[in-house]
Chains A and B, each alone.
Chain A
Amino acid sequence: MPQLNMVQAINLALREEMARDNRLVVLGEDVGRDGGVFRVTEGLFEQFGGDRVMDTPLSESAIAGAAIGMAVCGMRPVAEIQFMGFIYAAFDQLVAHAARIRTRSRGRFTCPLVIRTPYGGGIKAPELHEESTEALFCHVPGLKVVVPSGPYSAKGLLLAAIRDPDPVLFLEPTRLYRLVKEEVPEGDYTLPLGTARIVRQGGAVTVVAWGSMLQRTIQAVEGYDAEVIDPMTLAPFDGETLLASVRKTGRLVIVHEAPLTCGLGAEIAATVAEEAILHLRGPVVRVAAPDVPVPLARLMDRYLPSVERIQAAVKEVLTY
């Protein structure tokens, strides 16, 4: 089986699915001849041509809006927004339209589209290139939000996202794009949306982390009896897996690189408070970024939860 990084795994997923399903089109800024600024769509233009791999003008709202139109009319658009920090112009289209078409048409029309976008910090890029605003989208009923944390899950989740009958936002942790290689099978496999993965079994504390924080979390819990959960889909969130784990361990740490306040950690903590509070032995602890705009490179290391901070949180809840 080939060892691939995440960029190659996503590329493989797109390539195979485009060959399998001729309704699939890829569109976005620089996705064609240039192969995407992170090279995720490299070679697709050459293989499938400009009608299926479309460089668009610089218009996020038009990219999302056109993808909606295509999806409603029988195509399977996979649109790229170049960085998550530039998705806001498309927010209106995603929230006011993509998420509501099924409801508004009482099921007559559906919107099976995927929006892929690099997200997250730690790549020393300019302003708005390192955002992690997944919670904004998780708040919107009708949208699914998926975050792979490695090459294998990236391929399986992306194929599932493309085949999902509803709109999916697929967030690719930029810092992980080339950081790790994993065995990624050629050919078809999907990982179901809405299902979390237990990355590491443990009995004393549950730690939930996604995207590039998962990797740090695994490092941080080395030597501890920690169970690590990778939700993979943030919306809808797999509460069952989480609750089962918390009922077993009695402790919960949630790690995310988005700011603390109203981050997804709040929702996860509330779910545990509602459904498993009597199993808890100590407070739920969140490790998150501070409530400030994402800083530039010089302060990024202080902004993102570090291995040390995650470890400190785990140690702290273990004292209860």
Chain B
Amino acid sequence: MPETTIQTFGVRRLEIIAADGTADEALLPDLSGDQLRRLHYLMLLTRTFDRRALALQREGRIGTYPSVLGQEAAQVGSAFALQPSDWVFPSFREMGAHLTLGYPVHQLFQYWGGDERGLRTPDGMNLFPICVSVGTHIPHAAGAALAARARGDRSAVAAYFGDGATSKGDFHEGFNLAGALKLPVVFICQNNQWAISVPLAAQTAAPTLAQKALAYGFEGIQVDGNDVLAVFRATGEALVRARDGGGPTFIECLTYRMADHTTADDASRYRPPADVEAWRDRDPLLRFERFLAKRGLWNGDYGAEVQAKAEGEIDEAVRRYESVPPPEPGEMFAFTCAELSPRQRRQQENIR
């Protein structure tokens, strides 16, 4: 018997805005001028937040912090496509997604400042707490999708994670479950090409991460993660498919981590600075500004105006964060269980 090929696969790649700001008009998502400016503002706010967080960390006013510099488009573009009824499972480097979803900014500072109360999502917002254990929340997204199906509503679920997370067993188990049960989930990977010091090529032998979805029976697509419109479009399409019963999608946002892994890391130990320089031209914010400028939606004055607005918003959040009284020791016990055990109650009373 001759050997035959029984399956062949391909991986799509999506990019809409070129580095100089010109766009593929046919692929442009249907967004108003106001919405485009809102996307820009959210990226700018994310960058402003990030810059301030790094400064606060250096001054000892917050703890270890993972910068999102360079990843604003991947985060804002994807989160902007979500509906309030959708459920979101973030990892720990999605401050742009948090800001886009309207998470209280001072709470982000509070969390990175070592105060658990920052983790409490406002009521009505379907956003899970920051997940520090890499990739372990991926199966939760599958479970939330099962719950959406059980409720019979049209909400979808989005899970965020990095390239390193694709090596975890939980990634594979979560993907397999989502594929097998055709669940309404969109998996959003920010492939920033580093898991601390480990580059993508040492993380996996696969040339794309997107292709990993194929093994589980659903589509994986790679998008230019520094192109906010490409990310928005891919996420929007995946969400529609999820809501329509078409099953999961895996979106690999190809981007780059411009900063150190966290403020506790020193990337110069393992990464040639020239690599970072090569990515500066592909800055997601600059690229979008060039695009907006060509459409008359951005100029220097407007840029200065929204920058000032973003600074003001962050100033206010920092003030608010720093005016919250520190947590009481008894707070530690408050949410361990609905009802504390007698021993926990005694410990709570005696804590000094």
Contact = CB atoms under 8 A, between A and B. Distances in A.
Nearest to A312: B352
Contact of A89 (B113, B168, B347): B168
B135 interface: yes
A15 interface: no
A37 B132 CA distance: 16
Contacts of A60: 168
Interface in A50-85: 55, 57-62, 85
A127 B196 contact: no
A128 B329 contact: no
B331 A29 contact: no
Interface string B152-180: 00000000000011011110000000000
B343 A62 contact: no
A59 B169 contact: yes
B168 A59 contact: yes
A126 B165 CA distance: 18
B327 interface: yes
Contact of A296 (B115, B165, B169, B196): B115
B132 A29 contact: no
Contacts of B326: 298
B165 to A, nearest CB: 7
A302 interface: yes
Nearest to B204: A57
Contact of A30 (B114, B196, B331): B196
B169 A61 contact: yes
B344 A299 contact: no
B interface, how many residues as a size bin?
35 or more
A130 B113 CA distance: 16
Contacts of A30: 196-198
B269 A298 contact: no
A interface, how many residues as a size bin?
35 or more
A59 B352 CA distance: 40
Given A57-B167, A291-B341, A302 B264 contact: no
Contact of B336 (A35, A127, A291): A291
A260 to B, nearest CB: 7
Nearest to B267: A34
B202 A57 contact: yes
Contacts of B164: 57-58
Contacts of A126: 63-64, 92, 132
Interface of A: 29-30, 32-35, 37, 55, 57-62, 85-86, 88-89, 124-129, 260-261, 290-293, 295-300, 302-303, 309
29 contacts: A34-B269, A37-B264, A57-B198, A57-B204, A58-B134, A58-B164, A58-B165, A58-B167, A58-B198, A62-B169, A85-B133, A89-B170, A124-B63, A124-B114, A125-B64, A126-B132, A127-B133, A261-B343, A290-B332, A290-B333, A290-B348, A290-B351, A292-B332, A292-B336, A296-B114, A297-B113, A299-B327, A299-B329, A299-B332
